[in-house]
Amino acid sequence: MYIAMNRFKVKDGSETDFENVWKNRDSSLSEMKGFREFHLLRGPRNEEEGYTLFASHTIWESHDDFVAWTRSQNFRDAHKNAGTNKVLYLGHPVFEGFTVVEGA
């Protein structure tokens, strides 16, 4: 099991627009080998810096399945319009990949 998260600092006032980008996207992740679950998560607000943390959260069977997706046409299609949404968040999305140490 491998968890891929991408963290976005969404600017105050852009939360709904950001959520709609994800709700309205045309995803075919579920066709990929090893894909288990996808969620868009809304985290804490940072009052001082004026953003709310969001994270995409995808569970894969294995790290290899995740890597295969990043090299697929599916991945390129999913990210082709990502640049147009940059106005909604601060800086760049930060990727973090996690392997499971313990638990079930």
Q: Name which of 11 and 57 has its Cβ closer to its own copies.
A: 57
Told to check if 37 binds its own copies by CB under 8 A, we report: yes
Q: Which stretch binds its own copies (CB under 8 A): 16-24, 65-73, 74-82, 83-91?
A: 16-24
3-state secondary structure of 52: strand
Kindly write out the interface string for residues 39-68 of this chain, putting x where it contacts its own copies by CB under 8 A and - elsewhere: xxxxxx--------xxx-x-----------
Which own/partner pairs from 77-84 qualify as long-range (CB within 8 Å, at least 24 positions apart)? 77/28, 78/25, 78/27, 78/28, 78/29
| Minimum CB–partner distance for residue 56 and its own copies (Å) | 9
Half-sphere exposure in the Cβ direction for 102 (13 Å, CA): 0
| Minimum CB–partner distance for residue 80 and its own copies (Å) | 20
Q: How far is CA 21 from the centre of its chain?
A: 12
d(CA 64, CA 41): 24
Six-digit token pair at 61? 């069977």
Q: Which stretch binds its own copies (CB under 8 A): 67-75, 78-86, 94-102?
A: 94-102
Residues contributing to the site for its own copies (CB under 8 A): 1, 3, 19, 22-23, 37-44, 53-55, 57, 96-104
